[in-house]
Chain A
Amino acid sequence: MTQEPRTDAFVAFEHVQKSYDGVTLVVKDLNLSIGKGEFLTMLGPSGSGKTTCLMMLAGFETATHGEIKLDGVNINQVPPHKRGIGMVFQNYALFPHMTVAENLAFPLEVRGMGKADREAKIRRALDMVQMGAFANRRPAQLSGGQQQRIALARALVFDPKLVLMDEPLGALDKQLREHMQFEIKHLHENLGITVVYVTHDQGEALTMSDRVAVFNDGRIQQLAPPADLYERPENSFVAQFIGENNKLLGTIEELSGDKALVRLPSGELIDATAVNIKEKGQRTLVSIRPERVEFKPEMMPPGAHTLEAEVVEVIYMGDILRAVLKVAGSDDFVMKMRNTLGQTRLSPGQKIKVGWHPLDARALDP
């Protein structure tokens, strides 16, 4: 939304709006440029407009207003089959009455490619996803992960410059999903294609993308590389949507540059970095990642404000210890500690002091 128009934009949404019923807008004034070879993820809760954007790009939905450009050309009026965009669907959409090889041959046949060329391409595409031995199977004889690979191969076999993926890993179990994330990422890197990926799984978005566009309410809330998105959310929606977050409501007591002092309802003071705060006295929502919360004084910067805390419970999670604390009137404040040798084991009822680096506490709009 706030993005500068890129000069090398391969895909561009310009002031795109979409309404299904003429009453409400599903997509509100979308501006988005995607560079060539980029892996861009549209992330958001269901109903946020991300899938609609993908469908408009694929040509299955028409934009109510605005322009969609592919390689500098307006494609609003181009039918889907002439766009040359590969697409991977949520339920794979492999044709059940065709074998794997026939599925892969389909896009090549409709392009009038000769048999020899077709076979070479199919073989290459299948080898690419390590499914060379399955050419004569039918989709129903394959597992979910195998079907996913075939769907991927079919979307890539005709060498599209742009590939769209609509929650392609949604139906797979956790382990397979993580494995496929890396495979898709590697395919993207090796082939140099542009990928637009839609998901509601933030972990997927963070691990795979060059940039992530967080959608909510028909708008892009933030468009940034994964690390920025996680560490420097620009508004409270993004902060809450991506990863786990502690939220503290308060009022700006002092503001100098981006350094803010926030007074909590309990009367205590904390340090924070002002993000979208305009003035003193404004109400704010301070967000702090649980893994950035410290309880050992030596880990905190000198002069940092600390809060009184009481341990409610400690959950052992293997790699980390997760402590739920009573802090400043809220009793769901979470702190994560690495489970290292000699790590202090807290016990319920214990009184401690918690603090953090001011850069890790972000004062956002409430």
Chain B
Amino acid sequence: MAEATTELLTTADGRPLKAALAAAQARAKRRAFLLVLPLLLFVLFTFLIPIGYMLKRSFEHDGFASSAPALVAWFEANPDFDPANPPEEAYAALVQDLARMQTERTTGIAGTRINYSVPGSISLFKKGAREAANLTPPFKESLVALDADWARPALWRGMESASHVYTAEFYKVASDMKLTDSGWARGQDKERIYLYLFAKTFFVSALITVICLLLAFPVAHLLATLPMAKSSLLMILVLLPFWTSLLVRTTSWIALLQEQGVVNNLLVGLGLLSNDGRLTMMYNMTGTIVAMTHVLLPFMILPLYSVMRVIPPSYARAARSLGATSWTTFRRVYLPQTLPGIAAGSLLVFILAVGYYITPALVGGADGQLISNLIAFHMSKSNWSLAAAIAGMLLASILLLYWLYDRLIGIDRLKFG
């Protein structure tokens, strides 16, 4: 039997069956491919290439490597130099490059690059470049006389690292590592802003996901079980905010929750709060959580609804007739069947929340900022590579979650509606 199937089958005129099948289907396949081609190109140019470029930028920076050719050449020739005590040739190459930077006006770019790992380098480079033409050998002594920082081992380590166009330095910075005189090391506790913000972002996103789930479950159930006329009305109520501009929704939360806002005025008016005891619900984490929950709620309701809609009421009836109380029926029969919807909605809300920018930027204040706000901050400071490195870490952690989800629940069980 097994031998019969491995034997090459042919068509009536002797051509191999597989080739004949491929030829017969080629035309249809070409047409199908042409249909998806525009989308494919669109995704390629607007999604894959930018992401690839972003990831490349997170590893690549030639600000120093391109403006200090002499020092780059020396570092290449002496890979095992001692950063604590670089020889005179290294200083000579450095002074040569500084002079070159002054004439080519690249001091800023080079200084900025070194500044990422060794703060304070921009002014050091500017000063050095200005004086470079007047320096005389021995360059070590004259440079150190200009500024003692030129002898710092951390600076030399930083310059060595920056002499390579491709570097993992930005990922080290984004993981709260710090370049010290003896090499890369964990930063002080209070300096660990990136990992702390990562943890905070994930925690807040998880919290928002849970709140969304608790709020969306009864709404989705109502949507799925109410008679047509009422459920359509409810569906419009769910979708109306969805169709409203994100900015409008976010700013209306400001109007509601700020200290002189509607909610506080109401509570004070009812005598529940004193005028000095107004709640701070805006420009902090509370504001971020409230507004984001509201914005992301439809993304939980819709997948849940699409799953609940197709659960026949006879399951609940069967469970009841078999002797289960309404709570047992919910827990053992209804809830397990909504799991694909819960999983899809949670994944969607969580991933959206982790990368959310506008809402925390508007209502988060100092306390309610998330990791994406930090990415935006570094982009505004033109530190593209660090922003890209943080974004790359975010992307990696989301892919990891997605992989975990696939292993635990199975991506094919996902239902988005």
Contact = CB atoms under 8 A, between A and B. Distances in A.
Interface of A: 58-60, 79-87, 89-91, 93-97, 106-107, 110-111, 154-155, 158, 164
A110 B323 contact: yes
Instruction: Name which of A80, A111, A164 has the most chain B CB atoms within 10 A of its CB.
Output: A80
Interface stretch (B69-77, B208-216, B324-332, B360-368): B324-332
A164 B314 CA distance: 14
B109 interface: no
Which of B315, B322, B325 gathers the greatest number of chain A CB atoms within 10 Å? B322
B320 A93 contact: no
Contacts of A58: 317, 321
B368 to A, nearest CB: 39
B314 A93 contact: yes
B351 to A, nearest CB: 26
27 contacts: A60-B317, A60-B320, A80-B321, A81-B324, A81-B325, A83-B321, A84-B323, A85-B321, A86-B321, A87-B318, A87-B321, A89-B314, A90-B314, A91-B314, A93-B314, A93-B315, A95-B315, A95-B319, A95-B333, A97-B336, A107-B322, A107-B323, A107-B324, A110-B328, A111-B323, A155-B321, A164-B321
Contacts of A87: 317-318, 321-322
A106 B324 contact: yes
Contacts of A94: 318
A106 B337 contact: no
A81 B312 contact: no
A81 B337 contact: no
Given A60-B320, A106-B319, 20 more contacts: A80-B317, A80-B320, A81-B322, A81-B323, A82-B323, A83-B321, A84-B323, A86-B321, A87-B321, A87-B322, A89-B314, A91-B314, A97-B337, A97-B339, A106-B332, A107-B322, A110-B323, A110-B324, A154-B322, A155-B322
A91 B312 contact: yes
A58 B339 CA distance: 29
Contacts of B326: 81
Given A60-B317, A87-B318, A91-B312, A158 B336 contact: no
Interface of B: 312, 314-315, 317-326, 328, 332-333, 336-337, 339
B317 A158 contact: no
Contacts of A93: 312, 314-315, 317-318
Contacts of A59: 320-321
B37 to A, nearest CB: 37
Contact of B322 (A79, A110, A164): A110
Top 5 nearest A-B pairs by Cβ distance?
Answer: A107-B322, A93-B318, A87-B321, A93-B314, A80-B320
Nearest to A154: B322
A148 to B, nearest CB: 14
A58 B328 CA distance: 18
Contact of B317 (A86, A89, A96, A154): A89
Which residue, A83, A87, A89, A93, has most C-beta atoms of chain B within 10 A?
A93
Contacts of B323: 81-82, 84, 107, 110-111, 158
A83 B324 CA distance: 11
B10 to A, nearest CB: 38
B336 A81 contact: no
Contacts of A81: 320-326
A291 B333 CA distance: 51
A164 B322 CA distance: 12
Contacts of A111: 323
A59 B328 CA distance: 17
A22 to B, nearest CB: 16
Contacts of A154: 322
Contacts of A86: 321-322
A83 B325 CA distance: 12
A42 B5 CA distance: 56
A89 B318 contact: yes
Contacts of B328: 110
Contacts of B325: 81, 110
A94 B322 CA distance: 11
Given A60-B317, A80-B317, A89-B317, A96 B337 contact: yes
Contacts of B319: 95, 106
A111 B325 CA distance: 10
A154 B317 CA distance: 14
Nearest to B337: A97
Contacts of A84: 323
Contacts of A85: 321
A17 to B, nearest CB: 22
A80 B316 CA distance: 11
Nearest to B325: A81
B315 to A, nearest CB: 5
Nearest to A102: B332
A96 B315 CA distance: 9
